[in-house]
């Protein structure tokens, strides 16, 4: 057997040949050696000859041949980063004593590279046969972490060659709930947009942070595909040219009084996009002019040789030609167009202050924009040089430079129709219905920010919310498009999203805890089911709220870009595949187990399972229209509880920047098969049919 066998079926297989009698393994078992050493692990043996490519005897195609050359020599396997000892209950391996005699060994671990030995457990390995050994971590003194696993001579002298195979760390979870999951591979799949893997990147992080190698490496490893720029409310006052030139020029819309010298420039964002293999989405300043926005399109997407004139705007500023702004970009080292495809006209304009936006604005408005009337926002307001141009004028001017771009209009999740059941103030004076009606078939997409909670929710509210929140909003918007756009349904893009809308209300710092990872993973699944094309979390890194200590960011820029639990949702969803198929579970998706299935390739399905409970779940997985099953891979994010501020990723408490920690590899002999999902965990399974090749570990979607 060359691949590890997790779950109850592994036990059945081994019992049938009379070799092992142990409880079912959990899904987070960590394979240290099975035909080869786990990715990133190293040989730190001393006074020992070690061969990791031994073929005879071997339980699969390879085993480890170990020869102790003197007394107290040792085989030592070193992890790339320390593993959380609390996640495992035992070290399990098979050993063969060679041709004759008995090998006297002892097993122990070290918590650090040079740390003291744990309790040492003596074992005798008999010649001529394979034996299974299980060393409970309790017998080793319950180490808090595992850095080195050591198998040492205890005879005091040299010993002949013996063999080790199938060495793994067994997870300490015993299933307490049972479920059946049905995956239907024979149904017509639903395409999934790659831009579900999106976030926001604000300009206030500045040039230095955007250039930080740790920040870039971890953003790259996350699997994100799209970053919305330049950041929330700042988008409504960001002057792209004055920021780029580090000027606060009164003749142009300023970058912002006092911060034009340090806020991230457009080229700083370009550098970050290039380094992280992501695309950009730009929020246009609605206080500027349409030709200023057209010049920005030329800056990002134009060619140096393009002599088309942009012209003079309503305020008398000449914006010259497309090639002029492409040349400015090239002067910073980017000769080729960047290709910003998605644009948005302002940020949360419906929430303008009454002093700037007029009588329809709410007293609590926060944006310094010029209207709270959706009709005005689309069609513009005023005359002459004091006119505020609307969405349609900006769209025409920007698409005249690049006809392939799409400009989204600011919408609101409750559009202001009788069917949405919301009061006038909750719909911002019917903003959404007015925008949909006025823009008509020229609405490229409709952007919303459907944060579900203003006040911090209970744990049950947070965990159950994804199962209805987005679906209710989409239903209300479908009604508005039917009523006000003759049924023409523009794409609905979620361009900001997180658990709590206002950080100073997040008094329990829920956005920094595992509950937010569970919530976000489930919300992404619902967005995929609803066919939402863009789903941008707020935000990649933000900065802490000084009053509550909470943080929106996937990473915490004030703590060396510490990856919050919600960060790890994206590496799993990035490997989900580009198509969704049907999956159901017999437990409650709102409060217990939520599941989503996809297709990675013709011979590989995916399954994301979100365990929202404090109990492990033993799931029987039944696939319809797919098989026979040979095995696959498992990536896991796991926490000690919903309020935990850190997690383990593939068994590691502090994974590498590149997330190079290998997934668990598993195999089965027949279906249906079983898998254990640990408490408070998010697990991605790849379910493979046909021959499973260990060397094939799927990469991120790019």
Does 8 score more than 50 pLDDT? Answer: no
Enter the DSSP assignment of 321: B
Lowest mean pLDDT among 110-124, 254-268, 459-473: 254-268
* Cβ atoms 266, 208 nearer than 8 A: no
User: Which class for 658: exposed (0-12), middle (13-18), buried (19 or more C-beta within 10 A)?
Assistant: exposed
Give the pLDDT band (50/70/90) at residue 249. Answer: low
Pick from 20-34, 253-267, 361-375, 460-474: least confident: 20-34
Answer yes or no: is pLDDT of 24 > 50.
Answer: no
| 398-404 average pLDDT score | 98
Q: Is 369 in contact with 259 (CB distance < 8 Å)?
A: no
Q: Looking at residue 4, what is its pLDDT?
A: 24
* 396 in Cβ contact with 290 (< 8 Å): yes
Task: DSSP for 186-209, please give it.
Answer: TSPPEE--GGGSEEE--GGGHHHH
Amino acid 70: pLDDT: 96
Is the model's pLDDT at 22 over the cut of 50? Answer: no
Picking from 260-264, 474-478, 558-562, which range would have the lowest pLDDT averaged per residue? Answer: 260-264
pTM above 0.85, yes or no: no
**Separation between Cα atoms, residue 506 and residue 312, nearest integer Å:** 47
Q: What pLDDT is attached to residue 511? A: 97
The fold for domain 29-172 equals Jelly Rolls (2.60.120)
Phi, psi of 441 (to 5 degrees): -80, 5
Res 579 pLDDT > 90 = yes
pLDDT surpassing 60 at residue 45:
yes
- Of the candidates 24, 28, 20, the residue with the CA atom closest to the CA atom of residue 1: 20
- Domain spans in the chain, listed from the N-terminal domain onward: 29-172, 176-190+577-689, 193-573
Residues 637-644, mean pLDDT to the nearest whole number: 91
* DSSP strand pairing (102-110 vs 145-153): antiparallel
Asked whether the beta carbons of 72 and 156 are under 8 A apart, the reply is: yes
Q: Look at residue 11 in the predicted model and tell me its pLDDT.
A: 24
Say if CB 615 and CB 176 are below 8 A apart: yes
Mean pLDDT of 133-148: 86
Alpha-carbon span 387 to 440, nearest angstrom:
22
**DSSP character for 477?**
H
Higher-scoring residue by pLDDT: 617, 554: 554
Neighbour tally for 497: CB within 10 Å: 24
Element (H, E) at 328: helix 322-331
Higher-confidence residue of 581 and 88: namely 581
Q: What percent of the chain has pLDDT over 90?
A: 74
The torsion defined by the Cα of 546, 425, 411 and 594, in degrees rounded to 10, comes to 70
Exposure of 308 in the CB half-sphere (CA atoms within 13 A)? 17
Tens-digit pLDDT profile for residues 94-103 = 899 999 999 9
201 to each of 229, 264, 520, how far by Cα in Å?
A: 6, 10, 18
Residue 357 has pLDDT above 70, yes or no: yes
Architecture of the 176-190+577-689 domain = Sandwich (2.60)
pLDDT at 126: 87
Residue of higher predicted confidence among 60 and 696: 60
Q: How confident is the model at residue 131 (pLDDT cuts 50, 70, 90)?
A: confident
- Rounded mean pLDDT of 19-33? 53
pLDDT digits (tens, 9 = 90+) for 290-325: 999 999 999 999 999 999 999 999 999 999 999 999
CATH architecture of 193-573: Alpha-Beta Barrel (3.20)
Common-topology check for domains 176-190+577-689 and 193-573:
no
Give me the pLDDT at residue 1, please. Answer: 22
pLDDT of residue 697: 52
CA 190, 191, 196, 197 dihedral sign is positive
| Residue 201 near residue 552, CB atoms below 8 Å | no
By CB atoms closer than 10 A (0-12, 13-18, 19+), residue 276 is buried
Q: Say what the pLDDT of residue 514 is.
A: 96
When pLDDT is cut at 50, 70 and 90, the band that residue 629 belongs to is: confident
Average pLDDT score over the chain: 89
Q: What is the pLDDT of residue 9?
A: 24
Cβ atoms 205, 264 nearer than 8 A: yes
Q: What is the pLDDT of residue 26?
A: 39
Residue 23: predicted pLDDT? 32
Residue 671's pLDDT is what? 63
% of the chain surpassing 70 pLDDT:
90
Q: What is the pLDDT of residues 408-449, one digit of tens each?
A: 999 999 998 766 666 655 789 899 999 999 999 999 999 999
Closest to 365 measured CA to CA, from 348, 353, 356, 349:
353
Q: How many angstroms separate the CA atoms of 25 and 30, rounded?
A: 11
Helix axes 514-529, 469-484, angle to 10 degrees: 40
Angstrom distances, CA of residue 15 to CA of 18, 475, 695? 5, 53, 29
Phi, psi of 634 (to 5 degrees): -135, 120
Is residue 696 pLDDT above 60, yes or no?
no
Residue 141: what pLDDT?
Answer: 84
Question: pLDDT: is 679 or 445 the higher one?
Answer: 445
What does the alpha-carbon distance between residue 541 and residue 553 come to, in Å, rounded to a whole number?
A: 4
CA distance linking residue 475 with residue 485, whole number of Å: 15
């Amino acid at each position: 057997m060359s691949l590890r066998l997790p779950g109850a079926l592994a036990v059945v297989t081994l019992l049938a040949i009379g070799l092992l009698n142990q409880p079912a393994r959990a899904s987070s078992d960590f394979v240290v050696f099975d035909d080869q050493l786990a990715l990133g692990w190293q040989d730190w043996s001393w006074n020992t000859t070690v061969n990791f490519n031994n073929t005879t005897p071997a339980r699969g195609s390879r085993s480890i041949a170990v020869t102790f050359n003197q007394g107290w020599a040792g085989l030592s396997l070193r992890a790339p980063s320390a593993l959380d000892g609390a996640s495992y209950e035992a070290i399990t391996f098979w050993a063969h004593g060679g041709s004759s005699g008995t090998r006297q060994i002892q097993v122990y671990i070290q918590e650090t590279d040079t740390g003291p030995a744990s309790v040492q457990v003596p074992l005798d390995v008999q010649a001529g046969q394979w034996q299974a050994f299980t060393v409970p971590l309790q017998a080793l003194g319950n180490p808090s972490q595992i850095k080195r696993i050591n198998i040492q001579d205890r005879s005091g002298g040299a010993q002949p060659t013996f063999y080790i195979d199938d060495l793994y760390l067994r997870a300490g979870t015993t299933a307490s709930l049972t479920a059946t999951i049905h995956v239907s591979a024979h149904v017509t799949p639903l395409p999934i947009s790659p831009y579900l893997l999106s976030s926001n990147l604000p300009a206030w992080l500045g040039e230095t942070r955007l250039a930080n190698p740790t920040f870039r490496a971890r953003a790259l490893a996350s699997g994100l595909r799209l970053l919305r720029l330049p950041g929330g409310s700042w988008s409504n006052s960001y002057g792209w040219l004055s920021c780029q030139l580090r000027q606060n020029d009164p003749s142009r819309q300023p970058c912002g009084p006092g911060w034009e010298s340090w806020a991230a420039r457009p080229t700083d964002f370009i550098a970050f996009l290039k380094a992280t293999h992501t695309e950009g989405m730009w929020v246009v300043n609605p206080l500027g002019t349409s030709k200023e926005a057209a010049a920005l399109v030329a800056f990002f997407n134009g060619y140096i040789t393009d002599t088309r004139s942009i012209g003079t705007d309503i305020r008398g500023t000449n914006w010259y030609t497309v090639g002029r702004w492409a040349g400015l970009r090239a002067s910073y080292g980017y000769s080729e167009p960047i290709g910003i495809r998605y644009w948005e006209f302002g940020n949360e304009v419906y929430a303008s202050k009454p002093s700037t936006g007029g009588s329809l604005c709410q007293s609590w408005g926060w944006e310094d924009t010029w209207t709270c009337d959706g009709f005005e926002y689309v069609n513009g307001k005023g005359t002459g040089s004091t006119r505020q141009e609307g969405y349609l004028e900006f769209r025409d001017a920007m698409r005249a430079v690049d006809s392939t771009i799409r400009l989204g209009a600011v919408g609101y999740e409750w559009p202001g129709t009788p069917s949405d059941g919301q009061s006038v103030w909750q719909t911002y004076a019917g903003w959404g219905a007015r925008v949909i009606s006025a823009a008509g078939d020229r609405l490229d997409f409709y952007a919303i920010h459907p944060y579900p909670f203003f006040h911090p929710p209970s744990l049950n509210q947070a965990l159950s919310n994804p199962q209805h929140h987005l679906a209710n909003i989409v239903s209300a918007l479908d009604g508005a498009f039917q009523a006000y756009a003759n049924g023409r349904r523009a794409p609905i893009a979620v361009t900001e999203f997180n658990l709590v809308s206002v950080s100073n209300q997040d008094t329990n710092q829920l956005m920094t805890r595992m509950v937010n990872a569970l919530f976000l993973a489930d919300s992404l699944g619902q967005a995929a089911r609803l066919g939402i094309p863009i789903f941008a979390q707020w935000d990649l890194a933000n900065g802490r709220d000084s009053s509550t200590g909470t943080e929106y960011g996937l990473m915490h820029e004030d703590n060396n870009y510490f990856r919050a639990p919600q960060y790890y949702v994206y590496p799993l969803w990035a490997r989900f595949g580009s198509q969704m198929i049907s999956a159901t579970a017999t437990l409650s998706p709102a409060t217990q187990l939520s599941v989503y299935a996809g297709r990675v390739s013709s011979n590989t399905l995916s399954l994301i399972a979100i365990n929202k409970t404090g109990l492990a779940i033993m799931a029987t997985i039944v696939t319809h229209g797919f098989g026979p099953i040979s095995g696959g891979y498992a990536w896991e994010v796991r926490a000690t509880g919903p309020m935990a501020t850190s997690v383990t990723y593939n068994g590691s408490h502090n994974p590498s920047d590149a997330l190079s920690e290998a997934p668990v590899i598993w195999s089965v002999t027949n279906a249906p098969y079983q898998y254990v999902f640990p408490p408070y965990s998010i697990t991605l399974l790849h379910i493979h049919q046909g021959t499973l090749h260990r060397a094939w570990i799927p990469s991120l979607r790019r």
